[in-house]
Amino acid sequence: MMAKMRMGPKGQVVIPKMFRDDLGLKPGASVVMDYNKNKLVISKAASDFVELAESIAKSSPKVKLTMEDIRKGYFQQLDERHARIHRQ
């Protein structure tokens, strides 16, 4: 799918509804932008470590992530969230 959009005076571009729906983007969602060879790619940001690890693993066959790597990162993320909550 492709869509042509106009940039507003503040440099803002609206992501078309069909793309937002397809990606499951809701108001306040985070996106990641990547500039490569004259192209701007906007992707849905990973919501947690497991999703991030899976997207990295899928993006390159050279990346070798085991389920153990993903589990360790996931539990590390949980520990960090727990610590952050208790500091508040």
Indicate yes or no: pTM above 0.85.
Answer: no
Residue 38 and residue 2 in one domain: yes
Q: What is the pLDDT of residue 24?
A: 85
Q: Domain of residue 11: give its range.
A: 1-45
Which structure tokens are listed for 17? Answer: 């509804």
Q: Is the pLDDT of residue 88 over 80?
A: no
C-alpha distances (whole Å) from 47 to each of 9, 30, 37, 66, 87 are 30, 8, 27, 20, 22
Cβ neighbours of 77 (radius 10 Å): 14
Q: Kindly state whether residues 2 and 41 are assigned to the same domain.
A: yes
Task: Give me the mean pLDDT over the 41-68 stretch.
Answer: 72
What is the number of structural domains in the chain?
2
